[in-house]
């Protein structure tokens, strides 16, 4: 039964100030390095980086629109089956069919930064981009440069592959974020017009198309539009897209027949999560990013419409991902074939896909689940993916990115072997398919909205990130100030400052990785009863109330369930939420020869390298290998050297040049 009291509001991001020593610096890197760098990339001004053409596409589309030439140049291409980059020559569209979304995500990230750092110059650039985007919009509201340039008569003919509704969703998210950050509604109005048009084209009525997005994204964006406009039709359209998916007759199959191309197999439909209605799905399947964007929207709609059946589907899919298909880093998507989930416990460390966007999507899903019900398991995964699988996607200086996030790298192997061609052994400057870099920028810039939620008359701190949050609880303005040096130290202080004495509940998550904790409130020791993994205090709070919490932070040797074949006989090292790895830079080559005991005791040293880390040191073993020209020989007793091993946080790997890395180490 869903508890109506628990339908939460996210804290208004404009009232969250991040003061955290770990994240504040990274958010500044996003603002001062990543976003300016991305702007150069989107304008094709970075030497040696893959071409984007994203801004150029909008310029071309805007010119055609201005001159009344859309669909009249006779230059339209029939190439609309696009899973590959398109290049229609000088003055034509270049890039992927979803290239517009790169601009959208950049704009959205800019909007979030403006909420915590006003910057007139960057706002001016964003306004100009918005002018350009709006100049490409068609009279009816349609806005997709691929079809505007390549053949507008073919719009909506290939929802399965061509991402129009995906690009719409991203630009809509940008519009909502920019409106909320600046109060400027030009893009919001343009996207409302586009949403109204889409609402006229799609829906259950017999005179409308019964389609839905090939790549989910419009659904969650329409929920945001509903939240900001309170217009129910946008929520209904999101719900329609969710519920139409996978029903019979299958829209994607019908669409393919119409175009005279091969009808998708059951597997093809599963790639799009369209093999059966979403309410009947219980296995996370297909393209991992699409899947988690869909589940995010399902949770949104379940919450707003109090739809228990839909929420039950979300819970089943959540459980399937997090207990059978997720890496220790929070990465998801085990295979590069279809960038997809595979099957239970299939988690190869070297051939992994683990797209940064999929990790980000899992954080979206976790945040929505927390919004419905504050439960430790949701926040644990959110934390895991933020500190590991997402953060690994970006270099410490903010100018290099991983698309694929491997947990084991041997550079020469990954380069020689075509099976690992998707694995890059160093972060890249940019990508032809550049979904990940702007995605990481937008989630980091929006970090403030992930830390806590107000659920009914209760404030919950999900992640103890240093921050000051103002929100309304039980009718009173309450400031919650979290300080500490997380994730390195377990001492956390929370000041709870209501404007006037007010009765409510305050809860803070005790992470599942934490064995022992101590808590005191205004100097008095609290008992350690937890509710859904949260330490909660229900009382009348007054100005100056202080909660002090100490979490035990020992480094731990972790094993995977024995069903995970790739990790069998191996162990990983974690301290707090941070997953560690071995790198060649510290431990030499042939990391597969290294092993540790399960009862290893780790030394912790604060180091200034890699942006300031707690490095872990431990006595380990390196097998002394025999070189006698035999590929095979009778097994003999092993001999070992006893080096001191150094472990560094996984997110920080590959910031000291190319080299071997592994998370899962041989267990002695």
Query: Considering beta carbons, is residue 357 or 379 the nearer one to Zn ion?
Result: 357
Query: Considering beta carbons, is residue 76 or 354 the nearer one to Zn ion?
Result: 354
Judged by phi (left if over 0) then psi (alpha if -120 to 50, else beta), residue 615 lies in beta
Name the residue number minimizing CB distance to Zn ion.
357
Q: What 3-state DSSP class applies to 641? A: strand
- The 3-state secondary structure of 293-354 reads HHHHHHHHHHHHHCCHHHHHHHHHHHHHHHHHCECCCCCECCECCCCECCCCCCCCCCCCCC
Q: By C-alpha distance, which of 226, 271, 415, 276 is closest to 406?
A: 415
Query: Considering beta carbons, is residue 301 or 357 the nearer one to Zn ion?
Result: 357
d(CA 169, CA 290): 13
Query: Considering beta carbons, is residue 436 or 582 the nearer one to Zn ion?
Result: 436
Place of tokens 């926040």: 379
d(CA 623, CA 343): 34
- Active-site residue (options: 173, 217, 255, 339): 339
Can you give the C-alpha Rg of the chain in angstroms?
25
Is 426 within 8 Å of 392 (Cβ atoms)?
A: no
**Minimum distance, C-beta of residue 495 to Zn ion, in the bound complex (Å):** 38
Is 309 within 8 Å of 279 (Cβ atoms)?
A: yes
**Minimum distance, C-beta of residue 403 to Zn ion, in the bound complex (Å):** 6
Is 596 within 8 Å of 665 (Cβ atoms)?
A: yes
Query: Considering beta carbons, is residue 13 or 357 the nearer one to Zn ion?
Result: 357
Q: What 3-state DSSP class applies to 615? A: strand
The pairing of strands 665-667 and 594-596 is parallel
x-or-dash pattern for Zn ion, window 417-436, by CB under 5 A?
------------------xx
Query: Considering beta carbons, is residue 360 or 574 the nearer one to Zn ion?
Result: 360
Kindly identify the residues of this chain, within the stretch 312-341, that bind Zn ion according to CB under 5 A: none
Residues 6+ apart with CB under 8 A from 55: 42, 43, 44, 103, 129, 132
Query: Considering beta carbons, is residue 198 or 284 the nearer one to Zn ion?
Result: 284
**Minimum distance, C-beta of residue 437 to Zn ion, in the bound complex (Å):** 8
Is 401 within 8 Å of 428 (Cβ atoms)?
A: yes
d(CA 34, CA 421): 26
User: Contacts with Zn ion: how many residues (CB under 5 A)?
Assistant: 4
Query: Considering beta carbons, is residue 268 or 355 the nearer one to Zn ion?
Result: 355
Residue 563 to residues 160, 345, 559, 568: CA-CA distances in angstroms?
A: 35, 6, 11, 8
Total number of residues shown for the chain:
668
Which of residues 357, 391, 555, 661 is near Zn ion by CB under 5 A?
357
Residues 6+ apart with CB under 8 A from 505: 457, 458, 459, 536, 537, 538
Residues 6+ apart with CB under 8 A from 651: 387, 388, 391, 392, 578
Tokens of 124: 């001016």
> Does residue 134 bind Zn ion (CB under 5 A)?
no
**Minimum distance, C-beta of residue 108 to Zn ion, in the bound complex (Å):** 15
Helices 436-445 and 100-116 pack at an angle, to 10 degrees, of: 20
d(CA 152, CA 531): 55
**Minimum distance, C-beta of residue 54 to Zn ion, in the bound complex (Å):** 15
**Minimum distance, C-beta of residue 395 to Zn ion, in the bound complex (Å):** 16
Residues 6+ apart with CB under 8 A from 275: 246, 266, 269, 285
Query: Considering beta carbons, is residue 293 or 521 the nearer one to Zn ion?
Result: 293
- Residue 398 burial by CB count (10 A; 0-12/13-18/19+): exposed, middle or buried? buried
Place of tokens 């829906």: 203
Tokens of 163: 């991402």
Q: By C-alpha distance, which of 330, 450, 321 is closest to 388?
A: 330
**Minimum distance, C-beta of residue 355 to Zn ion, in the bound complex (Å):** 5
Query: Considering beta carbons, is residue 405 or 595 the nearer one to Zn ion?
Result: 405
Query: Considering beta carbons, is residue 125 or 428 the nearer one to Zn ion?
Result: 428
Tokens of 106: 């950049």
435 tagged catalytic: yes
Point out the residues that are catalytic: 339, 435
Question: Which residues contact Zn ion (rule: CB under 5 A)?
Answer: 355, 357, 435-436
């Amino acid at each position: 039964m869903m508890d109506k009291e628990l339908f939460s509001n996210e804290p208004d991001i404009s009232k969250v100030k991040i003061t955290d020593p770990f994240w504040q610096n990274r958010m500044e890197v996003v603002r001062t390095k990543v976003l300016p760098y991305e702007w150069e990339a989107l304008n094709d001004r970075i030497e040696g980086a893959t071409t984007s053409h994203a801004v150029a596409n909008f310029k071309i589309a805007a010119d055609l629109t201005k001159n009344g030439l859309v669909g009249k140049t006779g230059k339209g291409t029939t190439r609309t089956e696009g899973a590959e980059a398109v290049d229609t020559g000088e003055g034509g569209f270049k890039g992927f069919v979803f290239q517009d979304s790169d601009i959208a995500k950049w704009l959205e990230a800019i909007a979030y930064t403006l909420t915590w750092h006003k910057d007139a110059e960057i706002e001016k650039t964003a306004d100009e981009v918005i002018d350009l985007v709006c100049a490409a919009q068609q009279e009816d509201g349609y806005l997709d440069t691929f079809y505007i340039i390549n053949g507008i008569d073919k719009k909506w003919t290939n929802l399965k592959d061509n991402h129009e509704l995906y690009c719409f969703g991203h630009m809509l998210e940008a519009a909502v974020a920019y409106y909320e950050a600046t109060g400027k509604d030009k893009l919001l109005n343009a996207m409302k017009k586009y949403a109204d048009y889409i609402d006229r084209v799609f829906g259950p009525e017999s005179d409308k198309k019964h389609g839905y997005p090939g790549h989910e994204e419009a659904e969650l964006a329409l929920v945001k539009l509903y939240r900001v406009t309170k217009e129910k039709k946008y929520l209904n359209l999101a719900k329609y897209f969710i519920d139409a998916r996978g029903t019979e007759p299958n829209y994607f199959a019908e669409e393919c027949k119409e175009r005279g191309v091969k009808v998708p197999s059951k597997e093809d439909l599963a790639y799009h999560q369209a093999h059966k209605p979403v309410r009947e799905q219980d296995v996370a399947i297909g393209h991992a990013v699409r899947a988690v964007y869909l589940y995010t929207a399902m949770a949104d709609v379940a919450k707003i419409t109090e739809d228990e059946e839909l929420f039950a589907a979300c819970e089943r899919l959540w459980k399937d991902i997090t207990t059978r298909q997720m890496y220790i880093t929070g990465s998801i998507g085990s295979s590069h074939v279809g960038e997809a989930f595979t099957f239970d416990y299939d988690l190869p460390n070297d051939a992994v896909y683990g797209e940064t966007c999929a990790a980000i999507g899992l954080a979206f899903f976790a945040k929505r689940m927390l919004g419905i019900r504050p439960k430790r398991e949701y926040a644990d995964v959110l934390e895991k993916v933020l500190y590991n699988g997402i953060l690994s996607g970006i270099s410490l200086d903010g100018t290099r990115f991983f698309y694929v996030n491997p947990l084991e790298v041997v550079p020469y192997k990954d380069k020689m072997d075509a099976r690992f061609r998707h694995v890059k052994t160093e972060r890249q400057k940019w990508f032809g398919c550049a979904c990940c870099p702007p995605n990481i920028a937008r989630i980091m810039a929006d970090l403030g909205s992930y830390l806590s939620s107000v659920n009914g008359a209760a404030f919950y701190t999900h992640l103890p990130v240093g921050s000051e949050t103002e929100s309304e609880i039980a009718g009173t303005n309450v400031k919650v100030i979290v300080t500490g040096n997380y994730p390195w130290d377990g001492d956390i202080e929370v000041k709870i400052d209501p404007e006037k004495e007010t009765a409510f509940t305050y809860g803070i998550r005790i992470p599942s990785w934490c064995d022992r904790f101590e808590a005191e409130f205004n100097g008095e020791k609290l008992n350690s009863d937890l509710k859904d993994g949260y330490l909660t205090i229900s009382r009348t709070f007054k100005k100056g109330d202080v909660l002090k919490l100490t979490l035990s932070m020992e480094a731990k040797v972790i094993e995977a369930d024995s069903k995970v074949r790739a990790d069998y006989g191996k162990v990983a090292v974690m301290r707090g939420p941070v997953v560690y790895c071995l790198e060649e830079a510290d431990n030499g080559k042939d990391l597969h020869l290294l092993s540790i005991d399960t009862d290893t005791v780790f030394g912790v040293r604060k180091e200034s390298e890699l942006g300031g880390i707690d490095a872990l040191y431990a006595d380990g073993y390196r097998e002394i290998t025999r070189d006698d020209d035999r590929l095979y020989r009778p097994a003999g007793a092993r001999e070992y050297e006893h080096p001191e091993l150094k472990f560094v946080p996984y997110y920080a790997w590959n910031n000291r040049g190319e080299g071997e890395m592994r998370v899962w180490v041989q267990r002695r």
